Amino acid sequence: MNMSTRRIRAIVRKELREYRRNGSVVWAMAIIPLIFVIQPLVVVFALPASASNDLAHEHLLLYMLGIPALVPAVSAGYAVVGERQQGTLEPVLTTPVRRDEFLLGKALASLFPSTGVAYAVYAAFLACVGLFAHPAVAAALLRWPQILAQALFTPLLAAWSIWICLGISARSSDVRVAQQLGMLASLPAVVVTSLIAFNAIPVTLGLAVGIAAALLLLDGLGWRAMSATFNRERLVTGNR
Amino acid sequence: MHSHDGGKGAGPALVVRGLSKRFGDRVAFENVSFEINCGEVFGFLGPNGAGKTTTVRTLGTLIAPTSGTAMVAGFPLAPENGMEIRRRISIMPESPGLYLRLSVAENLECFADLYEVPDPGDRIDRALRAVKLTDRAQDTCGSLSKGLRQRVAMARALLSDPQVLFLDEPTAGLDPVAIRDVHELIDELRQRGVTIFLTTHRLEEAERLCDRVAILNTTLRTIGRPDELRDQLFAKTLAVRTIVPLRDPDRVFTGLPAVDGFREDGTAGYVLTVTDSAVAAPALTRALVAAGADVLSISESHRSLEDVYLELVESDEEAGRR
């Protein structure tokens, strides 16, 4: 199937312009990462050097993978039902845009800001820990394998969350409900990353590669499932 | 905007045969058949809930028909042809559906890319010129009045230079000046050979703009030129008013050429049923003068499209009540 990059770009550009000028989306996308970063920072700054032994057995940085799991709920939750509410969905669906182009455009427009926000928050967190935490604590926290895992898992988790939230958005009739349900549906991913972060699930390289492969597969399946269930008639008429 | 190869008379732009759409038990429209020629302005009238918008959405490939067939811009209406059909048509829904946080130019830019139009900048300029909005290109759509938003939606519909343009209630809620502008634009598009499918509640609009009209009330009640429909539905009549009542109207009116009969209408009024006004009126005038009648007026009755519409829709309502 030939997809038009021009049409995908048109959707992405339009979405990004809309998000940027939509105060509620901007605020919600800013507040979620703050919740994830402020409390850990306060705790880390207060840790004495002796805590570094315990920290060495945990993977606290991975706790922040909750950001890419939850932030997309704001934008992806809005993506379809928001358009339907403001009456802009029908004109778009009457253009030659294919469903895969439409969905990919929506997903990318949600992925870019979500991963961008997540990486920016990680960078700020790492910088703060490096500068202000006790050096022994900083050394125990800032380990390259974890930073690498965080960088790798961020888009994978965000993409999974995006497909779930787009699916919810396409079946909702209210933006807030879609966003809240999207966050709820993304919570299992947050639970798993938190359990790994606090070493409740012992992590190995093999497990990490396995989870990454599974997420990659789920992301692909999520797209295919969304595409297969995408129905212009239902979106326009609201009939189930 | 340039005209299309298929001008008037170049074959049908839309062919609809026995098209029906049901949502569960509810019938949106049923067994609808018609043809629209290239370059024709076709009015689609009907009361609320008659199925007009659903018909537009079906022909625009947004909704799958339950049964029946259609050819839209030369392509059979089928899921596999959806994209090809959507390339060649444009739909302006009743609600403009603009991105209110984006500027006029940004809205049009997005749709120019979705239609993959060549030279989008030039196309956007021409569309804005056509709707007289060049000076508002950088304004956010949220800051525009309803009439201006409707014009932006019209510009968006023109971007792709469509072969068939569906306009769903394009003048709903507009002030008289904005309505006149939309009418002028439709006239211009007609000159360029664009086929226009116009759904409207405004019967005088349909009468003024449309080559033919169809009246839908779930099923297609009638189709034809507005004057044809009037002739089909209503007998032609001549109304005579005199200062004093005629002494023997029967003697005056009986036997006149092209006059089928008459009835009294008030104290000094008479309505004659005629087959041809051009033949009946001069003979009637001579007969009245010969009878020494003081004639106040002789006029041909004028039935509007509204009369046709009301006659059909009210007869449906009566049938529904029985």
Average pLDDT across chain A, whole number: 89
Q: What is the pLDDT of residues B10-53, one digit of tens each?
A: 579 999 999 999 998 999 999 999 999 999 999 999 888 889 99
Q: Do A232 and B110 touch (CB under 8 A)?
A: no
- The pLDDT of residue B211 is above 50: yes
pLDDT bracket for residue B3 (50, 70, 90): very low
CB B268 within 8 A of CB B243: yes
Q: What is the pLDDT of residues B265-279, one digit of tens each?
A: 888 899 898 888 889
Q: Do B99 and A14 touch (CB under 8 A)?
A: yes
- The pLDDT of residue B5 is above 50: no
Q: Please give the pLDDT value at position B233.
A: 64
Instruction: Quote the CA–CA distance of B182 and B174 in Å, as a whole number.
Output: 9
Which backbone phi and psi does B211 adopt, to 5 degrees?
-70, -45
CB B93 within 8 A of CB B167: no
> What own/partner pairs with CB < 8 Å and gap ≥ 24 does A114-118 have?
A114/A29, A114/A68, A114/A71, A114/A72, A114/A75, A114/A158, A114/A161, A114/A162, A115/A68, A115/A154, A115/A155, A115/A158, A117/A29, A117/A30, A117/A33, A117/A67, A117/A71, A118/A33, A118/A64, A118/A67, A118/A68, A118/A71, A118/A154, A118/A158
Q: Please give the pLDDT value at position A239.
A: 66
State the DSSP code for B171.
T
Q: Do B101 and A17 touch (CB under 8 A)?
A: yes
State the average pLDDT over residues B163-168: 94
Find the chain A residues whose C-beta atoms sit closer than 8 A to any C-beta of B: 4, 6-7, 9-11, 13-14, 17-18, 21-22, 86-98, 232-233, 236-237, 239
Instruction: Quote the CA–CA distance of A51 and A47 in Å, as a whole number.
Output: 6
For residues B207 and B85, the model is more confident at: B85
Q: Which residues of A186-198 are buried (b: 16+ CB within 10 A; e: fewer)?
A: beebbebbbebbe
State the average pLDDT over residues B151-171: 93
Q: Please give the pLDDT value at position B177.
A: 84
Q: Please give the pLDDT value at position A48.
A: 81
ipTM of predicted assembly, 2 dp? 0.88
Q: Which of A4, A17, A94 sits opposite B106 (nearest CB)?
A: A17
Q: Please give the pLDDT value at position B234.
A: 65
- The pLDDT of residue B319 is above 80: no
Q: Please give the pLDDT value at position B6.
A: 38
For residues B177 and A98, the model is more confident at: A98
pLDDT bracket for residue B8 (50, 70, 90): very low
Q: What is the pLDDT of residues A8-57, one digit of tens each?
A: 999 999 999 999 998 888 898 888 888 888 888 888 888 887 777 777 77
Residues in chain B within 8 Å Cβ distance of A9: 113
Q: Please give the pLDDT value at position A135.
A: 86
Q: Do A90 and B62 touch (CB under 8 A)?
A: yes
- The pLDDT of residue B2 is above 70: no
State the average pLDDT over residues B221-236: 77
For residues B230 and B264, the model is more confident at: B264
Q: Do A94 and B95 touch (CB under 8 A)?
A: no
Q: Do A96 and B115 touch (CB under 8 A)?
A: yes
Q: Please give the pLDDT value at position B270.
A: 92
- The distance of B29 to chain A (nearest Cα, Å) reads 15
Lowest mean per-residue pLDDT among A185-194, B76-85, B122-131: A185-194
Token pair for B171: 């003048």
State the average pLDDT over residues A213-226: 92
Q: Do B63 and A232 touch (CB under 8 A)?
A: yes
Instruction: Quote the CA–CA distance of B45 and B23 in Å, as a whole number.
Output: 21
- The pLDDT of residue B143 is above 90: yes
Closest CA to A107 of A85, A84, A78: A78
State the average pLDDT over residues B79-106: 94
pTM for the model stands at: 0.82
- What are the residue ranges of helices labelled H in chain A? 5-20, 23-46, 52-55, 66-70, 72-79, 81-85, 89-93, 99-132, 135-141, 144-170, 175-197, 205-229, 232-237
| Nearest chain A residue to B107, by CA | A14
How many A×B Cβ pairs under 8 Å?
A: 87
- The pLDDT of residue B283 is above 50: yes
State the DSSP code for A86.
T
Q: Please give the pLDDT value at position B70.
A: 97
pLDDT bracket for residue B322 (50, 70, 90): low
Find the chain B residues whose C-beta atoms sit closer than 8 A to any C-beta of A: 23, 57, 60-64, 83, 86-87, 89-91, 93, 95-102, 106, 109-111, 113-116, 153, 156, 160
Dump the DSSP string for A194-213. Answer: HHHHTTSS---HHHHHHHHH
- The pLDDT of residue A61 is above 90: no
Instruction: Quote the CA–CA distance of B60 and B3 in Å, as a whole number.
Output: 21
pLDDT bracket for residue A132 (50, 70, 90): confident
Q: Do B102 and A92 touch (CB under 8 A)?
A: no
Q: Please give the pLDDT value at position B9.
A: 46
Q: What percent of chain B has pLDDT above 90?
A: 60
Tokens 């000076």 locate to B135
- The distance of A105 to chain B (nearest Cα, Å) reads 11
| Partners of B264 in beta bridges | B270
Q: What is the pLDDT of residues A138-150, one digit of tens each?
A: 888 888 888 888 8
State the average pLDDT over residues B176-185: 87
For the four alpha carbons of B217, B222, B224 and B226, in that order, the dihedral sign comes to: negative
Q: Do A88 and B111 touch (CB under 8 A)?
A: no
Residues in chain B within 8 Å Cβ distance of A95: 86, 111, 114-115, 160
Residues in chain A within 8 Å Cβ distance of B64: 233
Residue B47: what residue type? Answer: P
Which backbone phi and psi does B197 adopt, to 5 degrees?
-110, 105
Q: Please give the pLDDT value at position A136.
A: 86
CB B46 within 8 A of CB B217: yes
Which backbone phi and psi does A68 adopt, to 5 degrees?
-65, -20
Q: Do B116 and A88 touch (CB under 8 A)?
A: no
pLDDT bracket for residue B161 (50, 70, 90): very high
| Nearest chain A residue to B97, by CA | A88
Q: Do A17 and B102 touch (CB under 8 A)?
A: yes
